[in-house]
Structure 1
Amino acid sequence: MIVSSFFPGRIRLRNEVFKDAEIYAALYAAVGNHPAVKKIERNERTGSVLLEYIPEKLPINKLLALQSDLLALGKLAEFYSAKNKPEILKKIKEIESKL
């Protein structure tokens, strides 16, 4: 998983895993209800997700605390297949619980 752009208020992630509708739906459910999130947008063709948020409601130290979980998700996404899809969905749920 590649963070192709990041600055306070906006993160864009890219990976083939985001072409999977079930994984995107899990990600959307995990972060979409957070009070800081303004918009989540997916480009299914390119496998990218844009997350726009209010930086004051989701400070950088909170994101940094999730760094190891996000890196683990990225590693799982690198080897995305039907076989490891349940692990990816589980990791997304873990991240949701920590937000």
Structure 2
Amino acid sequence: MSVTDCITSFVDGRVRLRHPALKDGATAELVSSVVGGVEGILAVQANPVTGSLLIYYDTEKLSREQLLELAEQGAAFVPGMNESAVPAEGRAEMPSGRACKACAPVDELLGFLTRRSTTKFIDRAMLVSLIASLAALPLGSRAVHTAAGGVFVSGLLQHLLAHRKAL
């Protein structure tokens, strides 16, 4: 599926695209931030509910052809963009040599790590490890302090991942 297949509206200065991959909030956010960083793009609005992306661009800096060319190049790196219309055996490979479907385990892991139940469990583990780390200091147990601190930092990384949108 090419980017032109996803375009639902295209007037000078404004283009709207719809694709099922954009219904994933993380993918919509990723695409929105990448597109927003392109010179000549004035504003980007992603809507994960409808799976659409509205792009406002400066016609003095970007022509329709340039915008479409950039979109086609960038679509190869967006998770899920090649999956809805092309069968698995016919998917194009990314420049790294791995097919888009190879990203599925990573997406599954990210989904697990950002799940509410996982976040609640890790938040509790962070509290316990912080208490254990601080309690180990006056007792002189450097090994316990270090191990508990490592658990706390690991939990902090997951916490930042789960709440990255709010940061």
TM-score bracket for the superposition, by shorter chain length: 0.5 to 0.7
Determine whether 1:86 maps to 2:103.
yes
Higher relative contact order (CA 8 A, sep 6+): 1
Gap change, CA 1:52 and 1:70, over 3 Å in 2: same
Residue equivalent to 1:11: 15
Q: Which has the higher helix share?
A: 2
Note if contact 1:76-1:84 (Cα within 8 Å) is conserved in structure 2: no
- The CA distance in 2 between the partners of 1:31 and 1:12, in whole Å, is 13
Listed as ranges, the gaps of 5+ residues in structure 1 are 88-99
- The CA distance in 2 between the partners of 1:12 and 1:19, in whole Å, is 14
Structure number with bigger Rg: 2
Determine whether 1:62 maps to 2:76.
no
TM-score w.r.t. length of structure 1: 0.64
Gap change, CA 1:17 and 1:63, over 3 Å in 2: same
Q: Deviations over 1:22-80 (max 9, x none)?
A: 21122122211123111111222211110111111112331343465367679604259
2:43 pairs with 25, 39, 47, which one? Answer: 39
Note if contact 1:36-1:54 (Cα within 8 Å) is conserved in structure 2: yes
Gap change, CA 1:85 and 1:41, over 3 Å in 2: farther
- The CA distance in 2 between the partners of 1:37 and 1:10, in whole Å, is 10
Structure 1 runs of 4+ with >6 Å offset:
none
Q: Which has the higher strand share?
A: 1
Letter in 2 for 1:86: C
- The CA distance in 2 between the partners of 1:55 and 1:46, in whole Å, is 26
Listed as ranges, the gaps of 5+ residues in structure 2 are 87-99, 105-167
Letter in 1 for 2:101: N
Q: CA RMSD in A?
A: 3.2
The alignment partner of 1:42 has SS state of: strand
Gap change, CA 1:29 and 1:71, over 3 Å in 2: closer
